[in-house]
Amino acid sequence: MDNKNCNPIKIYETRINRVLRFINENLEKELSLGMLSREAFFSPYHFHRIFLSIVGETPGDFVKRLRLEKAANLLIIRPEYSITEIALSCGFSSSSTFARAFRDYFNYSASDWRNGGALAYSEKIRNSKNCKTDSKTGKEYFQTEEYFSSVDNYLSINNQSRKIMNVEIKKMPKLHLAYVSHNQGYNSKVGAAFEKLCRWAGPRGLIKKDSIFLGISLDNPDITPPDKCRYYASMTIPEGVEATGGIGILDLPELNCAVYRYEGYQDGIEQAYNDVYKNWLPESGYQPDDYPSYEIYLRDPNEEPKGFFVLEVCLPVKPL
């Protein structure tokens, strides 16, 4: 893809719209995260967050919604098709899976939808939008197979409402690290991992004034269950130190990073990441590199008010 002399926002629009069209044209097929991320030319780790920040839904939720809406339309305009035929044609693995998903989304069974539920639902939608009533029947309201499923020209990133962010591009140095692996999510429990790390490093004289403490987030919490996300509580150490007692050693390579300073409480860190992806990245001229993001802790949280952090969010990036 030739990105020379292109508006970076337009590149993001083009890539995400490419995925939206691909989804629209292949709803009956299996649509894995890896497949969709390849269509967007992003890694799966970063694609999910980029898609969510721009479209407002996760890829999985977006696909599921379009499948259900297409099925709802077909139930009305294709009475000759059985419910099972429609379910399979819209990408559902079985009629039972479809039945549960349809009822959860529309609050009607598929058969009730055909027998008046669709009309009642459409009336409710029109009334909720304060639309004027017209003479359309339910069957006329759902006129074509493309009523629900067309997403061409779906996306246009609104630059007017973007939050101004102070993000710097920095060449972050290679770091030799000791780490403790925490596999229970990005939460207050990571403190215990840092405590274990410090209990190991302190007696060995490894905690210096110039030591850097950082956390590496290995999973996207929008994909991996939050309580299973992996996190490395890490610190810089000299070369040649041997790992013992459950401590791991790794090298963080030199990386070109978008760096955003965050000062606030733990519950705002995730939003800081979202702001970088949504408000800064699309117009930056950069895209995420194929490496997990990480945080560098600039102050000891124990010296700040309880739960307050001063850190740098580091997102590895490369040119579009």
Higher pLDDT, 188 or 111: 111
What mean pLDDT, rounded, does the chain reach?
83
What CATH superfamily is the domain 167-319?
A: Regulatory factor, effector binding domain (3.20.80.10)
The rounded distance, in Å, linking the Cα atoms of 29 and 66 is 13
Q: Is 98 helix (H, G, I), strand (E, B) or coil?
A: helix
CATH superfamily of 8-149: Homeodomain-like (1.10.10.60)
Coil, helix or strand at residue 282:
helix
Does 129 score more than 60 pLDDT? no
**Distance between CA 86 and CA 35 in Å, rounded?**
24
Q: What is the pLDDT, as a whole number, of residue 189?
A: 79
Average pLDDT of the residues in 116-137: 64
Q: CA 64, CA 104: separation in Å to the nearest integer?
A: 12
More confident residue, 192 or 235: 235
Q: Given a cut of 60, is residue 2 above it in pLDDT?
A: no
Mean pLDDT of 208-223: 85
Token pair recorded at residue 147: 């009523």
Query: Between 130 and 132, whose confidence is greater?
Result: 130
Per the DSSP assignment, residues forming a β-bridge with 295 are: 215, 313
More confident residue, 43 or 134: 43
Q: What is the DSSP letter of 138?
A: H
What does the pLDDT read at residue 300?
Answer: 72
Q: What does pTM read for this prediction?
A: 0.68
Q: Domain coordinates of the chain in residue numbers? A: 8-149, 167-319
The arithmetic mean of pLDDT across residues 95-122, rounded, is: 91
Q: What is the pLDDT of residue 55?
A: 87
> One-letter amino acid identity for 149?
S
How far apart, in whole angstroms, are the C-alpha atoms of residue 315 and residue 219? 13
- CA 297 – CA 212 distance, rounded (Å): 7
Lowest mean pLDDT among 20-24, 138-142, 170-174: 138-142
> Where do runs of H (alpha helix) occur along the chain?
8-25, 33-40, 44-55, 59-77, 83-89, 95-106, 110-112, 118-128, 138-141, 146-149, 190-201, 269-275
Highest mean pLDDT among 178-182, 258-262, 301-305: 258-262
Q: Range with the lowest mean pLDDT among 61-70, 148-157, 225-234?
A: 148-157
Q: What is the pLDDT of residues 172-191, one digit of tens each?
A: 999 999 999 888 877 777 88
Task: Give tens-digit pLDDT for 86-95.
Answer: 999 999 999 9
- In sequence order, the 6+-apart residues with CB closer than 8 A to the CB of 110 are 71, 75, 83, 86, 87, 98, 99, 102
CA distance 261 to 252: 20
Cβ neighbors of 17 (< 8 A, separation 6 or more) are 152, 153, 154, 155
- Cβ neighbourhood burial of 84 (10 Å; 0-12, 13-18, 19+): middle
Between CA 201 and CA 48 the distance in angstroms is: 36
The answer, yes or no, to whether residue 135 has pLDDT greater than 60, is no
